[in-house]
């Protein structure tokens, strides 16, 4: 086994703390990665606090991983020692079901294996995430990272980037498209950057006029305050795709009315409580659609990383030390980050009081 150090949650309410644990030795198709940076996603917080279901503790979060290959198995052909690589939200899938065979591992009928909070098929042990010094992942779930980009800014692309890229590609956003982005957080700011780079006209919908300056800086062509009834009426029937990143229940009726004929509203933000159901006539009168999208496939993620490398696109981040993670969680709850925290894993050090794995 490989000795490793991570930042773990030990129960739903206590602070995260350093934890010594072990990873499996690389098998024939495995890649071992020295983790350099790991993004901090809101879903990390929800998961370790038990808000998305029961989990096994200790639990190391983190699924926005950038690092360098430190070892490879004998049958690995896609990566070699020294390569810059990334790992996103999943590290395995059944590979046999229809979605997997279609290259859509995120929709695996058996459930994809999460980078943390899942179960390793190789060992039966819980998967542990990227707030750690090293990770071992099958080569099929390891991505190439463009060396031209700042590595810390790349980390959130492995979740926030691909989560917004996948629906933009699925609904064929490009020149001539008019795209609305609801919410200007970790997901929303990436949706703006990517849609703009794809050639779309981008409209940011926000409840706060104070976000307008930042929205324009990120690439928006227009900013509409959703509480401005006149401005919202003027925008009706004008958007082809709306990317809704808000993770709390809200009325979708007015957003639906902004869609043109055959327009699609795509929900990305997970909410434990249901949204109020839009009225049937908002669909019927313009043949509109309400859809959802889950992260993205490995192939889509590689496509997104390559696109970002070509266009110089990265997440806007605040780099933090490992010992600032609990402060970062509290700030994240207050939306006090622009737009993603990223941990510099070189700052991870053991604590003498931290418990060790068996």
pLDDT band at residue 354 under the 50/70/90 scheme? very low
Q: Over the stretch 126-157, which tens digit does the pLDDT of each residue have?
A: 999 999 999 999 999 999 999 999 999 999 99
DSSP 349: -
CA 68, CA 85: separation in Å to the nearest integer?
A: 6
Span 210-225, average pLDDT: 97
- Average pLDDT score over residue span 240-251: 94
Given CATH 3.40.50.970, say whether it is the number of domain 160-292: no
Residue in the block written with tokens 């109020």: 276
pLDDT tens readout for residues 285-334: 999 999 999 999 999 999 999 999 999 999 999 999 999 999 999 999 99
Kindly tell me if the per-residue pLDDT of 103 is higher than 70. yes
pLDDT tier, 63 (very low <50, low <70, confident <90, very high otherwise): very high
Determine the average pLDDT of the residues in 105-127.
Answer: 96
Is residue 356's pLDDT more than 90?
A: no
Q: Please, which residues have CB within 8 angstroms of residue 325's CB and are 6 or more apart in sequence?
A: 7, 16, 40, 131, 343
Q: State residue 178's pLDDT score.
A: 98
Task: Determine the pLDDT at residue 275.
Answer: 85
Tell me, letter by letter, the H, E, C secondary structure of 207-254.
CCHHHHHHHHHHCCCEEEECCCHHHHHHCCCCEEEEEECCCCCCCCHH
- Nearest residue to 200 (alpha-carbon basis) of 228, 224, 176: 176
2-158+316-347 matches 160-292 in fold: no
Beta bridge partners of 67: 35, 85
For domain 2-158+316-347, the CATH class is alpha beta
Element (H, E) at 301: helix 298-311
Q: What is the mean pLDDT of the chain?
A: 95
Domains of the chain: which residue ranges?
A: 2-158+316-347, 160-292
Over 60: is that where the pLDDT of 352 sits? Answer: no
Q: What is the pLDDT of residue 353?
A: 41
Contact call for residues 248 and 272 (beta carbons, < 8 A): no
Segment among 47-61, 95-109, 178-192 with least mean pLDDT = 47-61
Q: What is the mean pLDDT of residues 235-255?
A: 95
**Tens-place pLDDT, residues 251-274:** 899 999 999 999 999 999 877 788
HSE on the CB side for 40, CA within 13 Å?
31
| Rounded-to-10 torsion of CA 193, 197, 199, 205 | 0
């Amino acid at each position: 086994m490989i000795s490793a150090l991570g930042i773990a949650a030990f129960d739903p309410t206590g602070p995260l703390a350093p934890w010594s644990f072990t990873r499996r030795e690389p098998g024939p198709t495995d890649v071992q990665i020295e983790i350099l940076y790991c993004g901090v996603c809101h879903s990390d917080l929800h998961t370790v606090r038990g808000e998305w279901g029961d989990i096994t503790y200790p639990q190391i979060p983190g699924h926005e991983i950038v690092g360098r290959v430190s070892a490879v198995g004998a049958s690995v052909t896609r990566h070699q020692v020294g390569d810059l690589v990334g790992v996103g939200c999943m590290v395995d899938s059944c590979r046999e079901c229809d979605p997997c065979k279609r290259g859509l591992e995120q929709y695996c009928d058996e459930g994809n294996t999460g980078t943390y909070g899942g179960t390793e098929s190789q060992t039966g042990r819980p998967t542990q995430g990227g707030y750690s010094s090293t990770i071992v992942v099958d080569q099929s779930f390891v991505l190439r990272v463009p060396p031209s980009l700042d590595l810390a800014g790349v980390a959130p692309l492995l979740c926030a980037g691909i989560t917004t890229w996948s629906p933009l590609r699925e609904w064929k956003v490009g020149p001539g498209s008019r795209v609305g982005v609801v919410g200007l957080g970790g997901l929303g700011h990436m949706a703006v950057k990517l849609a703009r780079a794809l050639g779309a006209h981008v409209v940011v919908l926000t409840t706060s006029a104070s976000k307008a300056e930042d929205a324009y800086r990120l690439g928006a062509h227009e900013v509409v305050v959703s509480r401005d009834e006149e401005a919202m009426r003027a925008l009706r029937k004008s958007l082809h795709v709306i990317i809704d990143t808000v993770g709390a229940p809200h009325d979708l009726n007015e957003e639906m009315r902004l869609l043109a004929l055959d327009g699609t509203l795509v929900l990305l933000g997970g909410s434990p409580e249901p949204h109020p159901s839009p009225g049937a006539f908002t669909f019927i009168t313009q043949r509109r659609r309400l859809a959802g999208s889950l992260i993205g496939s490995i192939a889509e993620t590689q496509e997104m990383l390559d696109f970002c490398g070509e266009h110089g696109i990265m997440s806007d981040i605040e780099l933090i030390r490992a010992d600032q993670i609990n402060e970062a969680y509290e700030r994240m709850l207050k939306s006090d980050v622009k737009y993603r925290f990223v941990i510099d894993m070189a700052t991870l050090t053991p604590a003498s009081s931290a418990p060790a794995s068996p």
